[in-house]
Structure 1
Amino acid sequence: MTETGSFGGLSVHLNEPLSHFTFTQTGGPADLLALPTSVGEVQQLLAEARAQALPVTVIGNASNLIVKDGGIRGLVILLTKMTGVTCDGTQLIAEAGARLIDVTEVAYQAGLGGLAFAAGIPGSIGGAVFMNAGAYGGEICDVLASAEVLTRDGQLKTYSNEDMQFAYRHSLVQDTGDIVLRATFALTRQPRPQIRAAMDHFNSLRASKQPLDYPSCGSVFKRPAGHFVGPMIQQSGLQGHIIGGAQISEKHAGFIVNLGGATASDYLAMIHYVQEHVAAKFGVALHPEVRIIGSDVAKG
């Protein structure tokens, strides 16, 4: 970690490279990086940022994220220390920084089914709610009962599933900028062996199809209606293509992996390269599923 300072009475890291946290192992520095451990600390950080008129960026597990090489101005709040998970009957309540992988294990131990589809997704609860994450026929919107959020002006709110306006890889908080603090899931009682079998099945599928042995940001593009991204990239002759340290995975063409030394600019160049070639061959516009944030230019 870089040197630390004080921000609203809380410790923050100064000019911390975000490549230390992203799954692509790329990304420039955050001016200020805070790792709060409670809702109160998030409120405190947000209040101080408002007082100083600083922009605020919130990051979860940084698994489906590209931070540009210029880094992020202002305050970055990383929620990975807010990891509490509890069960209350058939409800499971998880804080925003809890990893889906860990949360699905808690659900299994409690004999609660419905989250097995997420067993191998590397993201956090907050990020999963933010983007309505899904895999193998399941989505967060299928099981979310409510989400507790903090608005940018400091108000605590609770949104129901309906309030969240879920759609494919979309939720209300993408539009409002509200910070997801915790989520409550409505699950069902299931025999533990049945839950474990489903989790093992999905994890086996993931291991057989996805390039888990290299850093990546997961699935890069949203699935266009009536098409599959990987086959289109393959049929465009792009699989294995390399730009800088980034490569279209030879195992799954829908992934871009870091072979070593890749930059965020390499990733962005590859995304644009794929978009151009697939549009030329199929007339299909590919839109990133991965969240792309930050500045193209380093802090002066």
Structure 2
Amino acid sequence: MDFLEELHANQVGKIKEYEPLANHTTIKVGGPADIFVEPDSIDLLLKTMEIVQKHHMPWRVIGRGSNLLVSDEGIEGVVIKLGKGLDHLEVNGTEVRVGAGYSFIVLANAMARRGLSGLEFAGGIPGSVGGAVYMNAGAHGSDVSKILRKAHILFPDGTVEWLSNEEMEYSYRTSVLQKKRPGIVLEAVFELREGDRELITVEMKKHKHYRRETQPVKPCCGSVFRNPLPHHAGKLIQDANLKGFQIGGAQISELHGNFIINTGNAKAEDVIKLIDHIKKTIFESTGIHLHTEVEIVQREID
């Protein structure tokens, strides 16, 4: 039985061939995945990975695609999307157990309605819980490391383990999953605290208003560069008079220098060229090396 036949035989979930990843990234660019799978549950994700390993298929996991730039050539092998099958939610007092496919913004709003505090910073962060936990997403002086109790992780060898906050080894926009122990976030347990529903809602509205006033609404991939602290990437780009600069259909946002928007017909190549231009310009003018926060995925060509 070949790889596709085995996936279908096990009814793991949604399976497509040559699925355009522009349909699954927030910047709306990206070529096809050879095979695209959206498992219907954690158990079926585990089965999918078992089949992937059995057939020695190259693989990659995505969430809501908010921090992802896929090349125009697409991704070889299998792309596994953590979506509707992994969007469960349980709330017990101040403890929240949530699937990796759950929207981070939707979770923040749901907890605000319950009068649970700790996720106010997430009210404007696009993407999934899994992606947020993986990269220690944050804003407004807080981040995932402040609220995560533990994360349920699937490792490439098929083992599944709960990692504590300490074992996640969080730092600025990074975790142990990016460095020493690559793995897939299945679900997370957050420890929130009881708060005043009205005050939480006001705080979230303030953050939402700030983002609406300072960040683009057109398709984009979120913050492009990590802040080279104590500097801020957006300010460096603004000071270099790069806001509004455009290559093909990709443009540096007029609102915020650290965002690249798709004006309607951008290719991934346009975005990558624009990123390279920004890096070169900032280094020549300041001596500062900018490093991307967005993950750039390019097909390996023999």
SS in 2 for 1:119: helix
- Indicate which of 28, 31, 53 corresponds to 2:31: 28
- Indicate which of 184, 194, 197 corresponds to 1:189: 194
Q: Are 1:148 and 2:146 matched, yes or no?
A: no
- Provide the residue aligned with 1:60 in structure 2: 63
Aligned partners of 2:87, 2:258: CA distance in 1, in Å?
A: 30
Aligned partners of 2:47, 2:183: CA distance in 1, in Å?
A: 15
Deviation at 1:63, TM superposition (A): 0.6
**How many corresponding residue pairs?**
294
Q: Are 1:43 and 2:46 matched, yes or no?
A: yes
C-alpha offsets along residues 116-157 of structure 1, whole Å, 9 cap, x if unaligned? 110111110000011100011110001000000111111110
Aligned partners of 1:5, 1:133: CA distance in 2, in Å?
A: 37
SS in 1 for 2:53: helix
- Provide the residue aligned with 1:200 in structure 2: 205
SS in 2 for 1:216: coil
SS in 2 for 1:219: coil
Instruction: From the two aligned structures, give the one with the greater helix fraction.
Output: 2
The 8 Å contact of residues 68 and 296 in structure 1, kept in 2 or not, is answered as no
- Provide the residue aligned with 1:260 in structure 2: 264
Aligned partners of 1:171, 1:136: CA distance in 2, in Å?
A: 19
- Provide the residue aligned with 1:9 in structure 2: 10
Deviation at 1:263, TM superposition (A): 0.8
Amino acid at match of 1:119: G
Deviation at 1:264, TM superposition (A): 0.8
Deviation at 1:109, TM superposition (A): 2.3
SS in 2 for 1:158: strand
- Indicate which of 248, 254, 259 corresponds to 2:252: 248
Deviation at 1:83, TM superposition (A): 1.0
5 Å-filtered alignment, 1:104-183, equals 104-175=108-179, 176-183=181-188
Q: Are 1:80 and 2:80 matched, yes or no?
A: no
The 8 Å contact of residues 5 and 13 in structure 1, kept in 2 or not, is answered as no
The 8 Å contact of residues 76 and 300 in structure 2, kept in 1 or not, is answered as no
SS in 2 for 1:157: strand
Deviation at 1:294, TM superposition (A): 3.0
- Give the TM-score taking structure 2 as reference length: 0.94
Distance of aligned partners of 1:296 and 1:277 in 2 relative to their CA distance in 1, 3 Å threshold: farther
Aligned partners of 2:113, 2:297: CA distance in 1, in Å?
A: 36
Q: Are 1:70 and 2:99 matched, yes or no?
A: no
C-alpha offsets along residues 255-294 of structure 1, whole Å, 9 cap, x if unaligned? 0000011011111110000000000001100000011113
- Provide the residue aligned with 2:297 in structure 1: 293
SS in 1 for 2:106: helix
- Indicate which of 89, 94, 99 corresponds to 1:95: 99
Distance of aligned partners of 1:155 and 1:296 in 2 relative to their CA distance in 1, 3 Å threshold: closer
Distance of aligned partners of 1:262 and 1:5 in 2 relative to their CA distance in 1, 3 Å threshold: farther
SS in 2 for 1:270: helix
Distance of aligned partners of 1:98 and 1:220 in 2 relative to their CA distance in 1, 3 Å threshold: same
Deviation at 1:6, TM superposition (A): 5.8
- Give the TM-score taking structure 1 as reference length: 0.95
C-alpha offsets along residues 180-208 of structure 1, whole Å, 9 cap, x if unaligned? 00000010000111111111111011101
Aligned sequence identity (%):
39
Aligned partners of 1:228, 1:195: CA distance in 2, in Å?
A: 27
Amino acid at match of 2:30: G
The 8 Å contact of residues 6 and 51 in structure 2, kept in 1 or not, is answered as no
Moved segments of 4+, more than 6 Å: none
SS in 2 for 1:76: strand
Aligned partners of 1:52, 1:292: CA distance in 2, in Å?
A: 26
Distance of aligned partners of 1:296 and 1:209 in 2 relative to their CA distance in 1, 3 Å threshold: farther
